Structure 1
Amino acid sequence: MNEDGATSVPRGGKEITFSLADLPDVREFAAALARRGGMTEERVGDFLVALNEVTTNAVTHGATKARLRVWYDTGDLVVDVHDEGRHWILDGVPGHKPPGEHATSGMGLWVARLLSRSLNVRTGDSGTTVIMRFPL
């Protein structure tokens, strides 16, 4: 782990830092890596929905700047989104409780978990990290 509490990018992985205005570029960056790894176009769409939810949360609820790391691991595309937001008090396991019937927000992690193979959240003094895996 690094000082920010996140794992380093495995060999061949890519990393970018982003803000809210950079989100279109983040999606293009990640989509290119997903396609390069062999992800089908149908899966790329779902992947980008999940990624957009998590990256948007990072720069609107966590900190003004965040970091995305992407790499391939045993048939999966792995993404690690880290922000320096430290004030999140988890209520259960994030993304496992569906939003209320008439909710207009609070769906991001739930949607991302449904669209990914796995979703893990760590939060603490070094910030918040969401790691997701997607089949290629």
Structure 2
Amino acid sequence: MTNGESPTPRTVVPIEHALLIADAFDQAQVTELRHSVASCARAAGLLDERLDDFVLAVNELITNAVRHGGGRGWLRLWQDPGLVLCEVSDHGQGITPQDLANRSRPAPETAGGWGLWLARELTDAMDVETGPAGTTVRITTATVPAEQHVGRHRSE
């Protein structure tokens, strides 16, 4: 290819996802937002303990945004085939590298510090981007547990 030729266009595979919730929140909306997340996650295919765990993880993240992230935040909830994902962003000062690296369970008598640990433990995946302008945490849970998903394919 010479400098005068146009580059060959790349094939872009569209991301198939359905946005379920995109909403700003503050302390006054936490309970209502948690109920909306539960309803949408159930409709997206999360059931029973997986639904309860996901909703608790989201609740921890939105509570953290209110308490530690400037008093308000932004939540996006969507589904991809076989997955439910939630992203919570805030405008706080970020999470220290030490707190982010700490993966150990908080001591039982500890009043705080459970939010990120619970979100990580209760979902299939968690990613955190943090800095002085705020934090974004994304959690993902499969609608079918991995062991059931693999087992189902083995029998087909």
TM > 0.5: yes
Task: Label 1:65 to 1:92 Cα distance change in 2 as closer, same or farther (>3 A).
Answer: closer
RMSD of Structure 2 on Structure 1 (CA): 1.8
CA distance in structure 2 between the aligned counterparts of 1:26 and 1:95, rounded to whole angstroms: 28
Q: Which one of 24, 41, 48 corresponds to residue 31 of structure 2? A: 24
Aligned partners of 1:43 and 1:16: how far apart in 2?
23
Bigger CA radius of gyration: 2
The question of 1:43 aligning with 2:50 is answered yes
Quick one: which of 91, 103, 110 aligns to 2:110? 103
The equivalent position to 1:72 in structure 2, one of 79, 84, 90, is 79
**Residues 95, 111 of structure 1: CA spacing in aligned structure 2 closer, same or farther, 3 A cutoff?**
farther
Match of 1:117 among 89, 103, 124: 124
CA distance in 2, matches of 1:34, 1:77: 7
Query: How far does residue 129 in structure 1 lie from its aligned partner after superposition?
Result: 0.3
- TM-score, scaled relative to structure 1: 0.84
Greater mean deviation of Cα atoms: 89-98 or 68-77:
89-98
Report the CA distance between 1:133 and its aligned residue: 0.3
| Separation (CA, whole Å) in 1 of partners of 2:30 and 2:38 | 12
CA contact (8 A) 2:94 2:133 kept: no
Match of 2:18 in 1: 12
d(CA) in 1 for partners of 2:100, 2:72:
24
Choose between structure 1 and 2: higher helix proportion: 2
Q: TM-score, normalised by structure 2?
A: 0.74
Identity percentage of aligned residues:
34
* Structure number with higher relative contact order (C-alpha < 8 Å, ≥ 6 residues apart): 1
Gaps of 5+ in 2: 1-15, 144-156
Any idea what the Cα deviations from partners look like across 1:38-82, whole Å, max 9, x if unmatched? 111332211111111111001110012200001112311000000
Render the CA deviation track for 1:116-136: whole Å, top value 9, x for unaligned.
001111112431000000121
Residue 59 (structure 2) aligns with: 52
Of 44, 68, 93, 1:61 maps to 68
